A and B are shown apart, each in its own frame.
Chain A
Amino acid sequence: MTARTRKKSSLKYLLPAIPLCVFTLCFFLFPILLMVKYSLHHSLPYGEIERIFTLENYINFFTDIYYIKVLIKSFLLGLAVSVVTIPLGYIVAYALWQSRGLKRKILYICILFPLFTNLVVRLYGWRIILSPAGPISNFLQKTGLAEESVNMLFTWPTIVLGLFSECAPYYILILFSVLTLINPRYIDAAFDLGATRLEAFFKVIWPLSLSGVISGGLIVYIWAFGAFATPTILGNAKHWTLAVHAERQILSLRDWPYGSAFGIIILLFTLLIVFLQTKLLKRKQIYREI
């Protein structure tokens, strides 16, 4: 094969990717665009839609103090979950990276098993553990730490805990994949130069794994910000995030234009966060090159 014939058929190798391309365009991109269109329509009672161009859904959202509060709550929830997940997940990712053989396999299964298991089942487990008739409440009563049964459901810390156990496995695996790229010789070099383990970590491993922390942390933030199942199952109306309100508008109230607007607002904020992250990563890279 000469270089010329390769050049001639330079894009032919991508032909097999066309089905997935068409699929993603038709069933992902196009529906999102359709959603944008719906969010600009006017809704009539009983789920009817008047197909006119209007910005009223967005204006209604941003002038309603209740939904502004929901937006801020979703932001803060995402932040709280990220703050908890980033350091705790790092510990597991680090342990996974350092482990070998059987220990690594066991750790891997401990992470993958909950990751794949249905979210509703996991949240149902949390409901059993934290309910007033559950083991923790029972333990607190028996030891005299609590007078009567304690209901830990429907509180913010519980929702953060639920989201942590939902997002941590993804974060751990993303971070782990970045950690495996680190050349172990750098760490040996740090030890040879007399660094302690903590120094080696903060001066060598941490800076090299930062891109994993940022992209993994970003996924955690996006998912916690757009969380749906955890706030509905472990919380009540007070804890509903933007995504829960979007679902209510669409499925319960049948107000599709308004619900679509909710969705688009979530999407726009998600894209904004991704954009900020790429900026952050670029600055870090420049910093590293210097």
Chain B
Amino acid sequence: MKQVWDFKSFIFNFLLITVLILLLAPLLIVFISSFLDKAHLSWPFTDFTFRWYVEVFQRETWVKALTNSLIVAGLTTLLTLLICTPAAYAITRKTNTLTGFLRTFFMSPIMIPPVMIGISLLIFLSNFGLRGSYFDLALGHTLWAGPIVLITMIAVFERINPIYNYAAQDLGANSLEIFWQITLPMVKPGLIASAFLAFVLSTQEFIIGLFLYTPKTIILPVEIYTAIRYELSPAISAISVYLVGIVIIGLFVIDRLIGIENVSFSGKG
């Protein structure tokens, strides 16, 4: 059935590649420009160097922002895993209106523009005098990462054959024992992948961070946002590449653990 020259599939493939280029071009140009041996970015790109990758660590504000990002991401990961793992376990036990409602309810933070989360949390935290700690940012990031991690975890829990649970039940285990001794070991790779997912999502989040940061807790995306208002430079590109590097490592680990195809965004969302 396959034709040698098919005009329709040519158009299809052309559009496909165009979209993929549009998705990847900005990242590619940031990567290339980080090696440029000039103080400011201008085309053509000639004279390449590695020095920016070392020099960015001499800027104290950037090192601090990077450290803060990692601290916040660590807290977010911890918080997300602690509250989302049991929730994902609970709502995959049964399929009914209640669990359906809970799914939608838990997804609602990512269904509204993130600016709303930023504003409302800022007002909330200020109202109770809680501004200025890493925990503020972790709260905001958990609202963002939590729903996405939850979808992934639900997929992980749903893949377990319930027969193991029934077997444990018949052998006299209570529900806590079943979760701790049967389910948890089986979902361990999924949970580790979820931890990486939460970590990556937190390091890359920007808008909620913009509302909640204080000079002491400024995170890297906000720092980059302030920097690119005044200049486009290879140094900014280099620090951006470090930030993107976290995504690459994260995606690689997730792929090894559960397969990249299992990171999904359900249409039911």
Contact = CB atoms under 8 A, between A and B. Distances in A.
A107 B139 CA distance: 33
A130 to B, nearest CB: 10
B240 interface: yes
A177 B266 contact: yes
A71 interface: no
A174 B23 contact: no
Given A32-B116, A134-B43, A175-B267, A89 B123 contact: no
A260 B42 CA distance: 41
B263 to A, nearest CB: 6
A165 B22 contact: yes
Contacts of A135: 29, 43-44
Contacts of A131: 41, 232
B102 interface: yes
B160 interface: no
A111 B20 CA distance: 8
A38 B205 CA distance: 26
Interface in A158-197: 161, 164-165, 168-170, 173-175, 177-178, 197
A55 interface: no
A118 B26 contact: no
B269 A174 contact: yes
Given A16-B86, A35-B120, A228-B207, A24 B105 contact: yes
A227 B99 CA distance: 31
A109 B261 CA distance: 9
B146 interface: yes
Interface string A206-221: 0000011001100100
B143 interface: yes
Contact of A129 (B29, B115, B260): B29
Nearest to A123: B26
Given A128-B41, A243-B115, A92 B19 contact: yes
A177 B261 CA distance: 10
Contacts of B120: 28, 31-32, 34-35, 263
Given A17-B91, A118-B244, A164 B16 contact: no
B106 A20 contact: yes
B163 interface: no
A243 B113 CA distance: 8
B62 interface: no
A157 interface: no
Contacts of A105: 260-261
A35 B267 CA distance: 29
B23 A168 contact: yes
Given A138-B43, A222-B113, A121 B30 contact: yes
B132 interface: no
Contact of B19 (A88, A222, A229, A246): A88
Interface of A: 1, 12-17, 19-21, 23-24, 27-28, 30-32, 34-35, 38, 88-89, 91-92, 95, 104-105, 107-114, 116-129, 131, 133-135, 137-138, 161, 164-165, 168-170, 173-175, 177-178, 197-198, 211-212, 215-216, 219, 222-223, 225-229, 233, 243, 246-247, 250-251, 256, 259-260, 263, 266-267, 270, 274
30 contacts: A13-B90, A13-B175, A16-B90, A20-B83, A20-B146, A28-B108, A30-B124, A95-B16, A109-B251, A110-B23, A112-B260, A113-B27, A114-B23, A117-B244, A118-B203, A120-B224, A121-B30, A123-B26, A134-B42, A170-B265, A174-B269, A177-B264, A177-B267, A211-B267, A216-B267, A222-B113, A225-B113, A227-B113, A247-B210, A250-B122
9 closest A-B pairs by beta carbon, nearest first, are A226-B113, A125-B26, A16-B86, A31-B120, A31-B124, A20-B87, A133-B42, A17-B90, A16-B90
Interface of B: 8, 12, 15-16, 18-20, 22-30, 33, 41-44, 82-84, 86-87, 89-91, 93-94, 98-99, 102, 105-106, 108-109, 111-124, 127, 139, 142-143, 146, 150, 169, 175, 179, 200-201, 203-207, 210-211, 221, 224-225, 228, 232, 236-237, 240, 243-244, 247-248, 250-251, 260-261, 263-269
